[in-house]
Amino acid sequence: MASQELPGRDSSAVAPRAEAGGRERERIDHDASLGSFARRRHRKLAVAALTTVAIALLPLVIHDVYLQNIIVLTLMYAALSQSWNILGGYCGQISLGHAIYFGIGAYVSTLLFVHAGLTPWLGMLIGGVFAALVALALGYPFFRLRGHYFTIATIVVAETGLLLMLNWDFAGGAQGIQIPYGPDSWAHLQFARDKLPYVYFALGFALLTWLVTFLIEDSRWGYWWRAVKDNAEAAESLGVVVFRSKMAAAALSAFFTAIGGSFYAAFVSYIDPDSVMGFQLSLLIALPAVLGGIGTLWGPALGALVLIPLTELTRSYFGGSGNGLDLIIYGVLIMVIALARPEGLTSLFGRTRKARATPQARANPEARANP
């Protein structure tokens, strides 16, 4: 009797269909992931655009010169901290000597303006390039150090630069340099009474550093820097050029920090070594990023939004007592924020999004099981 085949599916026909279905599912998941990534990027750009417009409208409502001065300083330190965040946050190389790059930008642009009549616009670019070259020269030996040894080395070189400027007579020594006043001019970045131009310059500077970080964050360099921060040995084993990555981060960070120094010199029209190269300045550059969220896109801006107005207002309202009450209040508030949000202020928004997503996941368990 001839054998009869049992009715059922032909396994040879099912296998290709199953494989094709798996590939289709992978393609759909990949497209969904790309779509989610693009939406997230567009959302960040939309938030940045709305924030920029809101800040640009602030001086039209706030006419008090003191408050406008706080706005300028807040934006400037947001940009400076974003610059520091490139090296210290994304790449994980904690520097407490960024005041040397700030001072290079301030002194180069000021000396070129005072002695050569060169416009601060060109002076700040020259200062930025010079600071980047200094960062590369320092990075060659320093990036062979790790952890707190690298941090100590940055402090030492910044203090050395401070001592050199204190004793350099051509740059004014300890007395500093007074930038000569002239008529109000965008060419010389001088405005005697009007703070509005400085607000818009600082806003443009903060926006520029944010956009550069935004573009780099999800690029190859951004992924390299985060890999180096997490585990340099593992990153190198996967093909990341660790030393080159660190050098690129240092040069870019120093360039923008020097731009901030040049702007500050034009803003206050007077610089001296202690005001543009002191250790306290290095801390103030790094603190907003640490407070807001180190290695995050919005951390430096959020940290500066809290830290700088807090600094200025406590100094104004409590600093005249002479007993250090302003510093006590300032320090206590910083500790409270750091203890309440050790991951940084940006963690507030991350937890809010997670809380909103949890009820949706509970309401749709099938979607949770098959994302």
Three-state SS sequence of 5-41: CCCCCCHHHHHHHHHHHHHHHHHHHHHHHHHHHHHHH
CA distance 286 to 296: 13
Q: Where in the chain are the domains?
A: 63-291
Contacts of 224 (CB under 8 A, 6+ apart): 235, 240, 241, 245
Per residue in 136-150, pLDDT tens?
999 999 999 988 999
Q: CA-CA distance, 259 to 266, in Å (whole number)? A: 11
pLDDT for 131 equals 97
Crossing angle, helix 196-217 and helix 220-230, to 10 degrees?
Answer: 80
Per-residue pLDDT, averaged over 105-123, amounts to 94
Output the CA angle 290-280-230, nearest 5 degrees. 30
- Which residues, 6 or more positions from 198, have their beta carbon under 8 angstroms from its beta carbon? 72, 191, 267
Burial environment of residue 171 by CB neighbours within 10 A (0 to 12, 13 to 18, 19 or more) = buried
Q: Residue 113's pLDDT band (boundaries 50, 70, 90)?
A: very high
Is the dihedral angle over the CA atoms 73, 79, 83, 86 positive or is it negative?
Answer: positive
Q: How far apart are CA 321 and CA 329, in angstroms?
A: 13
Tell me how far apart the alpha carbons of residues 248 and 51 are, in angstroms, rounded to a whole number: 29
CB atoms near residue 112 (< 10 Å): 19
Three-state SS for 44-68 is HHHHHHHHHHHHHHHHHHCCCHHHH
pLDDT in tens, 338-350: 788 778 888 887 6
pLDDT tens digits along 203-218: 999 999 999 999 999 8
List the end-to-end C-alpha distance of the chain, in Å, as a whole number: 52
pTM equals 0.84
328-335 contact pairs (CB < 8 A, 24+): 334/287, 334/291, 334/307, 334/310
What is the structure's pLDDT at 368?
43
Predicted local distance difference test score (pLDDT) of residue 357: 47
Q: What is the reported pLDDT for 194?
A: 84
Q: What is the DSSP letter of 93?
A: -
pLDDT at position 2: 47
324: three-class secondary structure by DSSP: coil
**Residues 6 or more apart whose Cβ sits within 8 Å of residue 205:** 75, 76, 79, 259, 260, 263
- pLDDT of 361 reads 45
User: Is the model's pLDDT at 172 over the cut of 80?
Assistant: yes
Which pLDDT score is estimated for 285? 94
Amino acid at 117: G
Alpha helix segments (H runs only) across the chain: 11-61, 65-85, 99-116, 120-142, 148-166, 196-217, 220-230, 232-237, 242-268, 273-277, 279-292, 299-318, 325-340, 346-363, 365-369
Check if the beta carbon of residue 344 is closer than 8 Å to that of residue 293: yes
Hey, what amino acid is at 212?
Answer: V
365 band by pLDDT with thresholds 50, 70 and 90? very low
| Pair of tokens at residue 346 | 């940006």
Question: What average pLDDT does range 92-115 have in this prediction?
Answer: 95
Compute the mean pLDDT over every residue in the chain, rounded to the nearest whole number.
84
| pLDDT confidence of residue 9 | 52
Q: What is the DSSP string of 129-169?
A: HHHHHHHHHHHHHHTTS-THHHHHHHHHHHHHHHHHHHT-G
Most confident of 17-21, 165-169, 332-336: 165-169
Q: What one-character DSSP code corresponds to residue 86?
A: I
Quick one: pLDDT at residue 366?
A: 45
Q: What is the tens place of the pLDDT at every residue in 254-306?
A: 999 999 999 999 999 999 999 999 998 999 999 999 889 999 999 999 999 98
Asked if residue 1 has pLDDT above 50, the reply is: no
Asked if the model's pLDDT at residue 235 lies above 80, the reply is: yes
Give me the half-sphere count of Cα atoms (radius 13 Å) on the Cβ side of residue 25. 8
Q: Does the pLDDT of residue 5 top 60, yes or no?
A: no
Strand partners, 270: 178
- Higher-confidence residue of 360 and 340: namely 340
pLDDT band at 337 (very low <50, low <70, confident <90, very high): confident
Closest CA relative to residue 226, chosen from 218, 319, 141: 218
User: Does the pLDDT value for residue 355 go beyond 90?
Assistant: no
Is residue 95 a contact partner of residue 84, using CB atoms and an 8 Å limit?
Answer: yes
Grade residue 7 by pLDDT with cuts at 50, 70 and 90. Answer: low
